[in-house]
């Protein structure tokens, strides 16, 4: 399954809907979507990952890179992924302890509604 990314604006946030496999072959494409949004002045970004079926270490690196980029321009990054242990990305995040680094929400509505985002630590 190839990477698919669509972009929509919601309530002041830019949402990138990511679907497919996020691996070494498509990470540059995902990074380009994030950089393009930031270059356009969109510093409130949500990556909607509920339809990502596979995430490897380069995909994790891309998410960490997106987080750093947004932080460098005083922006904010939120992730949307189900809390289900059946969801691959959630299992990877939980196993590696990555949830504490990101502001993670189970639904897009909850990510948009979060007015006091405190889900991510300040490091990095």
| Lowest-pLDDT range of 52-56, 58-62, 66-70, 87-91 | 87-91
pLDDT at 122 over 90: no
Give the separation between CA 103 and CA 91, rounded to whole angstroms.
Answer: 16
pTM of the model: 0.89
Torsion of CA 92, 96, 100, 102, to 10 degrees: -50
What pLDDT score does 1 carry?
63
If one counts every other C-beta atom within 10 angstroms of the C-beta of residue 34, the result is 23
């Amino acid at each position: 399954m190839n990477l698919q990314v669509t972009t929509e604006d919601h309530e002041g946030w830019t949402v990138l809907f990511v679907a497919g496999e996020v691996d070494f072959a498509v990470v540059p494409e995902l990074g380009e979507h994030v950089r393009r949004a930031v270059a356009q002045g969109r510093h409130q970004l949500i990556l909607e990952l509920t339809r990502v079926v596979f995430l490897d270490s380069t995909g994790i690196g891309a998410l960490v890179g997106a987080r750093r980029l947004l932080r460098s321009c005083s922006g904010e990054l939120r992730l949307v992924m189900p809390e289900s242990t059946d969801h691959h990305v959630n299992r990877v995040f939980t196993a590696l302890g990555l949830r504490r680094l990101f502001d993670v929400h189970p639904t897009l509505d909850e990510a948009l509604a979060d007015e006091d985002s405190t889900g991510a630590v300040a490091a990095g």
